[in-house]
Amino acid sequence: MKGKASIAFENPPCILGTGCVVGKKEGEGPLGDRFDFVSEDPLFGKNNWEEAESAIQSQAAELALEHAGLTKEDIRYCFAGDLLGQLIATSFGLMNLQIPLFGLYGACSTMGESLNLGSMTVAAGYAPYVMCLASSHFASAEKQFRFPLEYGNQRPSCASWTVTGAGAVILGRGGDGIKITGITTGKIVDLGIKDSMNMGAAMAPAAADLIMQNLIDFDITPDYYDWIFTGDLGTVGQKALIDLLKEEGVSIEGFHRDCGIEIFDAEKQDTHAGGSGCGCSAAVLCSYILPMMQSGKWKRILFVPTGALLSPVSFNEGQSVPGIAHGVMLEKM
């Protein structure tokens, strides 16, 4: 334990392999040549969007196993989730793995939640290897949360674009690559924002709270990290986050990046505020953050996937959009 909401691991788990699968639009973005697999077919050969998302998860899991040089029988637990009601992308995507499964829902923060629990499990000696995984699909998310694609509805400029993608990470006890040296687990933060099309603003308070907690718990300043990477705040949420932390006397300007801003070229790709979804932070982690660390360019990253805790029902009932964020400290030894 460390501070109020963090753990510093005595035996930090190591990242042994990753897998990353995305859709065509993501493949056309600035990180396009970094992903393990880019599908030209948004349905990934399946019959509907949900099955397509399951297929992405399954493929990302297989790639991660392959890259780690392991088989599914080696993995003790899987920590996974997605954005859909009752996690059906996960249930149908990971069924064939036949690995004991902890289904997680942290909205777009799910990759953070899974890495929190996965690293706790490995560091405690409960498992030699675990898999952490999250996915989203633009079309299954639009169908779940907003309008049928066929409506062709207009989106406000503060809206984000749900990433079609999945990232899977294998954690293990041995190895000398990138380690998870600590975690900070987030609580729900609600400043009463009710605009479900402005999720960046809804999630920024939770990200600010998590980052402050991490800095306090470990008694560090933002320059401890090469970068603090939030999940999917986008350009609107980034501004809110920087302002909120400034009010607390902390400046992260020059130390902050956002997976949602990195994954698309907003202007050329018409993605407005940036990418979002569980798959956004998961894919950027596997394709960009970890390889940059592996190459020695970055030594320390605070990875902070951010989630907006709304559902179509809660939104229609006039509820606010609370946020949550989970922090993962990545260090290249």
> Which residues of the chain form contacts with a copy of itself (CB under 8 A)?
1, 5, 7, 47-48, 50-51, 76-77, 81, 83-88, 91-92, 94-95, 97-107, 113, 116-117, 120-121, 123-127, 143-144, 185-188, 190, 309-314, 317, 319, 322, 324
148: three-class secondary structure by DSSP: coil
Distant-in-sequence, close-in-space partners of 36: CB < 8 Å, separation ≥ 6: 19, 20, 21, 60, 63, 286, 287
Q: How far is the CB of 127 from a copy of itself (least distance, A)?
A: 7
Our CB check for a copy of itself shows the closer of 88 and 242 to be 88
Q: How far is the CB of 239 from a copy of itself (least distance, A)?
A: 25
Torsion angle of C-alpha atoms 77, 332, 36, 171, degrees rounded to 10: -10
Burial label for 152, CB within 10 Å (0-12, 13-18, 19+), is exposed
Q: Which is nearer to a copy of itself, 59 or 110 (CB)?
A: 110
Of 294 and 319, CB closest to a copy of itself: 319
Nearest to 177 by CA among 278, 69, 35: 69
86/157 with CB nearer a copy of itself: 86
Residue number, 121 or 287, with CB nearest to a copy of itself: 121
Within a 10 A sphere around the Cβ of 253, how many other Cβ atoms? Answer: 9
In the complex, what is the shortest distance from the CB of residue 6 to a copy of itself, in angstroms, rounded to a whole number? 9
DSSP output for 280-324: HHHHHIIIIIHHHHHTTS-SEEEEE-EEE---HHHHHTT----EE
CA distance 234 to 199: 9
Q: Least distance from C-beta 145 to a copy of itself, angstroms?
A: 9
Task: Name the minimum Å distance from CB 160 to a copy of itself.
Answer: 17
Minimum distance between the CB of residue 281 and a copy of itself, rounded to whole angstroms?
A: 16
Give the nearer residue to a copy of itself in terms of CB position, either 64 or 117. 117
What six digits make up the tokens of 158? 């503060």
